[in-house]
Structures are given as C-alpha cells and as structure tokens.
Amino acid sequence: MSGNGTTAGDDPLQTAVWRLRSRACWSDAAALLLPATPAAALQRASLLVERCLYTEQGWEEAEDALRTAEALAHSDDERGAAACERGYLAYAATVLAVRDRADEARAALGRAAALVPPGAPQRALLDFRRGLLAENLTRSPQAARAAYRRAHAGATAQSDPLLLSFTWRHLAGLALREGELAEARHGFAESLRIREELGYLVGTAPALVSLADTETEPEASRLREEARRLFRLLGGVPTWLARQLAPVPPAATA
C-alpha cells in the first residue's frame, strides 16, 4: 500500500482511513473497512501489514487479513497485489528480526512480478518493495538502486506523492552510504517536504532524522529534536526509530 494522501472524489471513507493511517492509528483505519470485496480486503490487509513494520506488533492479525485478501482475489491484478503484500509482510518480519522469512519474501514478490505487468498501477509499489529486498536482505545496492529508480519513475507517472517520498528517501540513503552528501541531502529534503505537505505524521520523524544525518550543527540538532517531539506525540512509533533518537553518551575522560 502506498496511498497518496488524497482521495479520488474526496471519498469520505478513504479520507478517514488516510487520516487515521497517517497518525499511526492503523487498527482504527482497518476497522472502517469491511473485507467484503477484493479491494477492501486488500486495503485492510495493507494497513495491518504496515502496522507490523512500524510497531513490530500485530503479526497474527495481519496474517489473518492477508489470508482473507488472498481468498477473495480472482484476477491476476488482485492476486499480484495480494502477493505483493505477502512479500512485504515476510520482509518486515525478516528485517525486524522477528523471524527469518527472506525466502518467502523473495518468492511472493517474484510471484507478484509475474502477475503484475510493467506499467500496471501496482507495479511502482512492487518495484519499490523489490528494491527493499535487494538493499536490506540481498545486500545488493546496485539492484536496489535500479528498482528504486523504476519505482520513482512509476510513482511520478501515477502522481503518487507518498510513494515518491519513499523512493526519494531510499535513493538518498544509498547516496549517503556512497559519500554523495549533496545528493543525499536533496533526496531526504524532498522526502520530508512531501510528507509534511501530505500530513503523513508517522513518516515525518524518520524523514527528519535522515535529513539531520546530512546537516551540520545547529541544524542537525534542531531536526533531531523535532523528530523526538513527533516520536513522543505518536507514542513511540515507529519503534525502530528509538535507537536513532537515543541521546549520544558523553565522551569518556581520563
């Protein structure tokens, strides 16, 4: 699930779902969706899978919702989208060290790639998630960059700003690791700008921390303090950000 922070025709249900999701209220957002159609079941599963990645909790509920979405999927597009979520859930469990499901993640995203043709609306999100696997599980930055660039182009073509905020962020992360500081700063700044414009609060603190890593003082400290404020406001979500926000211990003296 990417979601662009807006809704076609200002659908009140989708507006409510977005507002809850962006404030880390995934369970409340999912409760608004009745899994009676393939689209609703998939969206509900996507919300609960995303909750796992941000909170490291709710794995069984996400699995149940995903099985419902898989059972309701009939077309190749629907089956491909469900497989994409299956791969993302397995990726989350692996990267958060809950359980090693790397093989399942690769198989599910490979199945999704066989079902979702290039140029299809879901392809950009699928390319992005395949980039995540390449970067964080396979440890192949070249393959990750290629996948992120395909996702970036797809998100641009589809006017999906939230997905663009993720592709900017991860391309910038690769640039930072290669010492390309100016390129990294630009990408992180674009990611932060989009998230602030969309009101995607749950993703704003990580964007602030990433940009801080490319800045000098006092701007770096200002950005991190703003990230801490948002992190506390959202009840310590995303959980994995706590390690990056921990105070740096003072240097030991003889």
Q: What is the pLDDT of residues 90-144, one digit of tens each?
A: 999 999 999 999 999 999 999 999 999 998 999 999 999 999 999 999 999 999 9
- Neighbouring residues of 233: CB distance < 8 A, sequence distance ≥ 6: 201
Report how far residue 65's alpha carbon sits from residue 69's, in angstroms, rounded to the nearest whole number. Answer: 6
What does the pLDDT read at residue 253? Answer: 47
Report how far residue 178's alpha carbon sits from residue 172's, in angstroms, rounded to the nearest whole number. Answer: 10
What does the pLDDT read at residue 10? Answer: 74
What does the pLDDT read at residue 3? Answer: 46
Report how far residue 199's alpha carbon sits from residue 19's, in angstroms, rounded to the nearest whole number. Answer: 8
Per-residue pLDDT averaged across 221-250, rounded?
Answer: 91
Would the pLDDT of 76 be above 80? yes
Would the pLDDT of 250 be above 90? no
% of the chain residues with pLDDT over 70: 94
pTM summary value:
0.93
Q: What angle do CA 164, 131, 125 make, to 5 degrees?
A: 45
Three-state SS for the chain is: CCCCCCCHHHCHHHHHHHHHHHCCCHHHHHHCCCCCCHHHHHHHHHHHHHHHHHHCCCHHHHHHHHHHHHHHCCCHHHHHHHHHHHHHHHHHHHHCCCCCCHHHHHHHHHHHHHHCCCCCCCHHHHHHHHHHHHHHCCCCHHHHHHHHHHHHHHHHHCCCHHHHHHHHHHHHHHHHHCCCHHHHHHHHHHHHHHHHHHCCHHHHHHHHHHHHCCCCCCHHHHHHHHHHHHHHHCCCCCHHHHHHHCCCCCCCCC
What does the pLDDT read at residue 248? Answer: 60
Report how far residue 108's alpha carbon sits from residue 217's, in angstroms, rounded to the nearest whole number. Answer: 44
Would the pLDDT of 5 be above 60? no
What does the pLDDT read at residue 120? Answer: 93
